Structure 1
Amino acid sequence: MVLRVLAATGVATSLFGSSALGGSQPPPPPPPPDRIVIDSVAAAGSGCSAGTAAVAVSPDNTAFTVTYSNYMAQVGPGSAPTDFRKDCQLNLLVHVPGGSTYAIVSAGYSGFASLAPGASGTMRAGYHFQGDPRTIHKTHHFKGGFNNDWQVTDTVDTAALVFAPCGEERSLGIDTELQVDPGTSSPGATSFLGMDSTAGGIKTVYHLAWKQCP
């Protein structure tokens, strides 16, 4: 599936005050005045089949949002053997204004989970730039006996930020995975972990840090 994003829409909150870098360091450069454009998105995986993932860029260039509408892992009666695990690999071609580059500084994920007592759920995320062996991985675990909305935020330390190479077009890869383990739950129990919301889709927001190229 290929999505083309030509207009920047959506609203996001910037996390890049000076406190993010420590009080002894100067604040990071502001976002460039021109908008970033995500020219295309290739989506593949059991959690983001054709037509169920979309991308938008915030008006202030500090974030972009990936929205899913059918991303859920499930076990229990009526579930297929492969439903316990769902994944999605996104490949984004991001154009940034000349003289600037960016890194992912934080990512917020949300959804809904219904995990029977004894069951568990796992959410994994990672991203990397094309041709760069460095990949940042984050993992979150959810215990059974849970039936509610969930929200997690991953933050990358300043020293670990991975910036896109200056003057080169490198695609950004974002990989996510949901998995449910029935564990010791009742054989007749249904458990699921989904990236969704009452609006019909989850909005995973990736916040950007900016840097001037030499």
Structure 2
Amino acid sequence: MLSALSTGAAAAALLLGSASPTAPARFGDDPPTGNITIDVATVNGSGCRPGSAAVAVAPDNTAFTVTYSEYLAQVGGASKPTDARKNCQIALNVHVPQGFTYAIARADYRGYASLVQGAKGLEQANYYFQGQPETAHRAHTFAGPYSDNWQTSDETDLNALVYAPCGEERYLNINTELRLDGSAADPKTTSYMAMDSTDGSINTLYHFAWKQCPASK
């Protein structure tokens, strides 16, 4: 099962300048050297209209990133009730070299939050392969006053990794959600939480765990 790692402004600040997948941790077997491509099959949700999410694979094939440009939830002030919850469902078609399969060993979610006193923010996510059970949602909460970058990480134990079936193409479905609660805050003030950044340097990072399929050994 997924286990939540430490969160907080200090960790987010350290990672702010290194959000791109330049040297992520490695899990499982060595990654394949062949070409890996990821196509966005479908995008749905109030936090990511089509065209507002981009995907890139790390040069060493250890991870990939998803970058959002319009993923923001807010509450208070002139906000509409529907602004308090935003979600995004992305189906990715991951093409990997023959003889290899992969799992998602760790997911790092990043963004920025501005929460006034009394306001609360929540980020939660899960992912699963098409036709397989969903992983459990892991929720991370933040409380105002808070005005800084944020980061959360969900990691799966190596013995609990769920790999894509060998020799089959299954969509990797990623579900994320941002939710704000301003019931205990001054209604005239505005709080918001974003899974993006103003300069585009913040993104979510998904770490591959690779495994050779039995027939390729």
Separation in structure 2 between the aligned mates of residue 62 and residue 189 of structure 1, nearest angstrom: 42
Give the deviation of 1:134 after TM superposition: 3.8
SS in 2 for 1:112: strand
* Distance change (3 Å), C-alpha of 1:112 and 1:86: same
Pick the structure with more helix per residue: 2
> Which residue matches 1:43?
43
Q: CA RMSD in A?
A: 1.4
Distance in 1, Cα, partners of 2:90 & 2:77: 31
TM-score (norm 2): 0.85
Deviation at 1:200, TM superposition (A): 3.3
Indicate conservation of the 8 Å contact 2:67/2:200, yes or no: no
1:193 Cα offset (Å): 0.8
The one of 3, 6, 13 equivalent to 2:23 is: 13
| Paired-residue identity, % | 55
- The residue matched to 2:159 in structure 1 has which SS? helix
What's the counterpart of residue 111 of structure 2? 111
Contact 1:35 1:59 in 2 (8 A): no
Alpha-carbon offset, residue 55 of structure 1: 0.5
TM-score by length of 1: 0.87
Deviation at 1:150, TM superposition (A): 0.8
> What code does the residue aligned with 2:23 have?
T
Report if the CA contact (8 A) 1:12-1:62 is conserved: no
The residue type equivalent to 2:161 in the other structure is L
Query: By how many angstroms is 1:201 displaced?
Result: 5.9
User: What CA distance in whole angstroms lies between the structure 1 residues aligned with 2:211 and 2:50?
Assistant: 34
**Structure possessing the higher relative contact order (Cα contacts under 8 Å, 6 or more residues apart):** 2
Query: Once the 2 structures are TM-superposed, how far is the Cα of residue 157 of structure 1 from its aligned partner?
Result: 1.0
Match of 2:167 in 1: 167
Which 4+ stretches in 1 moved above 6 angstroms? none
1:67-126 deviation digits (Å, cap 9, x = unpaired): 001111001111112000000000001111111100001111111111111110000110
